[in-house]
Structure 1
Amino acid sequence: MIKRLLSYFYPVKIFSQKSALSQTLEITWSNGDLVMDSLNTNYSYGSLQRILKLGLKNIGFAKIKQMQHILVLGVAGGSVIKTLVDEIEFKGKITAVEIDSEIIKIANRFFKLNEIPQLEIVIADAFEFVLKTTEKYDLIIVDIFQDTKMPNFLFESFFIDRICLLLKNKGNILFNTMLLNEADNLRNKKLIADFKKQSFAIKTIPRVEQHNELIIIEKLI
């Protein structure tokens, strides 16, 4: 309790662990809340939760609440899952894919993800998972980072075409991206242009929490 109170004045780190895939992982009290951080960025809760919650609001909480199956690619501490369950009161199934098993152990310990009954966590590479799954999803949330970097495969046509195929009609994709330089800007512009050629509605929310751009996609047919 004392550490939580002190966190309103300055961040209080309570846990740190090295991970082969994510390098440094830290749990910190910040402004009265627990957050998960990597070496250079927020991984869960804190600013990241605000970013993804804004994207979900743009899709529509009422629409999401009526969905049946949501796929989350990139779990970390599971802040977007907590938003879905606690704030939106989503009752359907959530499948969450995370490549780093150490992150899930930490998330279970500090954020109690293992106590969410409708949540299935799959330890796997997101690219391999979307190749193999035969499920269809109402909402696919893409939130995959290695510290401040995003894997290249996320922006390759094959991956994009595949997640679009997994989307139900009128379903949505919420894609969280980070813009740190001009190359990142051009990358996002190309992705957006590719979607505009297809049967999708697409909008962006730029400069969320300074460096993030949300891309929100709806499958029209």
Structure 2
Amino acid sequence: MLKRLLSFLIPINIYRKKSDISKNLEVTWNNGQLVVDSKNTNYSYGSLQRILRKGLQYIGYDRIRGFNEVLVLGVAGGSVLKTLVEEVNFEGNITGVEIDPDVIEIANTYFGINEITNLEIIIDDAFEFVLKTKKKYDLIIIDIFQDTVMPNFLFEDFFINRINYLLHVNGFILFNTMTLNKKDKERNLRYSTRFDEDYSVRMYPKVEDHNELFTIKKLK
């Protein structure tokens, strides 16, 4: 409790871990809230939770409660899972795919995501998972970073087409991107043109300082 109170004055680090995949991971009390950070960016909770919460609000909590299957690519500390379960009150199945077992250990220990009864966590590369899965989903959340870097495959046609195939009609993709420079913004503009008339694409710039969100609805 003391560390939490002090964190309104100054961030209080309580745990550090070296990860082969995410490199430096830290759990910190910040403004009265536990957050997970990598070396240069927020990984879960804090600003990231605010970003993805806004995306879910754009889609609509009532609509999401009517879904059956949600896929989360990039779990990290699990902040979007907590939003889905505790705020949206989503009771369908959630599949969370995370490549880094170290960050899942943190998510279980400090944030209790292993206590979410309608959640299945799969340790796997997101690209490999979407190639293998036989399921289709009503909502696919893509939130994949290695520190401040977004893997190139996220913006390539093969991955985009595979994600589209896995999405039910009237389902949504929620894609969180980071835009640090002009090149990133141009990349996002190209991404928005990769969808035909069967999809409704909306981009929400400046959700936080360096984040742009996409919501993509499959119309038919």
Same fold (TM over 0.5): yes
1:119 and 2:119 matched: yes
Cα-Cα RMSD:
0.6
Residue 181 of structure 2: aligned partner? 181
Q: Distance in 1 between matches of 2:190 and 2:197?
A: 13
Q: Residue 149 of structure 2 aligns to a residue in which SS? A: coil
| 1:108-140 deviation line (CA, Å, top 9, x unaligned) | 000001000000000000000000001010000
Q: Distance in 1 between matches of 2:51 and 2:19?
A: 25
Q: Deviation at 1:151?
A: 0.3
Q: What is the aligned-residue identity percentage?
A: 60
Residue 201 of structure 1: aligned partner? 200
Q: Which runs of 4+ in 1 moved over 6 A?
A: none
Q: Distance in 2 between matches of 1:81 and 1:200?
A: 25
Q: Deviation at 1:160?
A: 0.3
Q: Which runs of 5+ in 1 are unaligned?
A: none
Residue 88 of structure 1: aligned partner? 88
Q: Deviation at 1:209?
A: 1.1
Match of 1:97, as an amino acid?
Answer: V
Q: Distance in 1 between matches of 2:140 and 2:69?
A: 9
Q: Distance in 1 between matches of 2:63 and 2:2?
A: 40
1:214 and 2:213 matched: yes
Q: Distance in 2 between matches of 1:190 and 1:204?
A: 12
Q: Distance in 1 between matches of 2:194 and 2:124?
A: 27
Q: Distance in 1 between matches of 2:185 and 2:89?
A: 35
Q: Deviation at 1:215?
A: 0.6
Q: Distance in 2 between matches of 1:185 and 1:106?
A: 32
Q: Deviation at 1:198?
A: 4.0
TM-score, normalised on structure 2? Answer: 0.99
Residue 37 of structure 1: aligned partner? 37
Match of 2:135, as an amino acid?
Answer: E
Q: Deviation at 1:21?
A: 0.3
Q: Which runs of 5+ in 2 are unaligned?
A: none
